[in-house]
Amino acid sequence: MATARGPAARRRSGRGRTPGRAEDLGHIVSGLRIGTRGSDLALWQARAVATAIEASDGPPCELKVIRTSGDRLPHADLTEVGGKRLFVKEIEEALIAREIDVAVHSAKDLPAVVPAGLAVRGYLQRADARDGLVLPASANPPPNSTATALLTRLGPKPRVGTSSVRRIAQLAMLHHDATFVPIRGNLDTRLRKVDDGPYDAIVLAVAGLRRLGFTNRLSAALTIDECVPAPGQGAIAMETRADDTVTSDVVARIDDADTGAAVTAERTLVEALGGGCQMPIGAHAVVAGTELRIDAVVSTLDGRRAPRFQAQGDRAAPAALGQALAARLVDAGAAEILAEVSRAQTPEVDRS
């Protein structure tokens, strides 16, 4: 487990205390250990949390870099080796073991149900939740083109790089003859692959591109109508031990309530459907005054069946809204679609 100092922790360690160790001293916290993956994007997100905590008169923060199973299996098919929980498992284990005090995750990678003894305590303000189409640097696409128009310009059978079944299912509806090629790796690795590899385009989260300074590589953002994002996409989640009220109070100071309401509705919908990060479920909620509006879709892998509904409800009751919309999707056949997808993703076992 590698260690990096948080912004203010690098400036003030405080004589007589152990930097990076959280101690329950009533309402005083002497240093917070923030657990994160080691990718550039994960570190950006963890530093954003540390900066926000310290700017809110919170304690100095120390980053603990934890290598996850997902990092150790860069070429594996996630549907066959445990899904996106592989990107949070070791971090959550470190949290349970009290090796860290706060776990920072991309909310879209965090399963709808967290382990016993842990709780998601807050979210930073959400960035752009949309998916983005990225063409090779040499492509020189027309300015202000829509994603659908760019897909059409790629020819009759474009090779699109994405390993997300949600993206594949929805993009298949936009371009029926597209071929989808798996792609893994950190963001900069994927950008190199689209420039050098066998892809006509790749699909990435707009938020990640912007956070790491690659906005110029965004050829076109997919509208919510074109592709409903992953639940939690664009949001940064902060997870603590459920019984750690002191750290939870620190996190609560920087929680963005609107993001929390939206992501709670999205995650509750996924939980009610019995889905996971590797299922073709799109959900996107936004706050409008006292109301919360959510758009959700469940697709077959080929995109030929895709029940989709919108709903709105009380911003103060996001879980109820997510559950209600999940029930409408189930009535429209979502449970059968997800069961079919699950069977298709389960490797056959040779019992001979």
Q: Does the annotation mark 109 as catalytic?
A: yes
Query: Cα angle at 233 between 194 and 227, to 5 degrees?
Result: 65
- The position carrying tokens 């997870």 is 239
Backbone angles phi, psi at 59, to 5 degrees: -75, 165
| 74: CB partners within 8 A, 6+ apart | 184, 185
Active-site hit among 101, 109, 244, 295 = 109
3-state secondary structure the chain: CEEEECCCCCCCCCCCCCCCCCCEECCEECCEEEEECCCHHHHHHHHHHHHHHHHCCCCCEEEEECCCHHHHCCCCCHHHHCHHHHHCHHHHHHHHCCCCCEEEEEHHHCCCCCCCCEEEEEECCCCCCCEEEECCCCCCCCCCCCHHHHHHHCCCCCEEECCCHHHHHHHHHHCCCCEEECCCCCHHHHHHHHHHCCCCEEEEEHHHHHHCCCHHHCCEECCCCCCCCCCCCCCEEEEEECCCHHHHHHHHCCCCHHHHHHHHHHHHHHHHHCCCCCCCEEEEEEEECCEEEEEEEECCCCCCCCCEEEEEEECCCHHHHHHHHHHHHHHCCHHHHHHHHHHHHCCCCCCC
Active site residues: 109
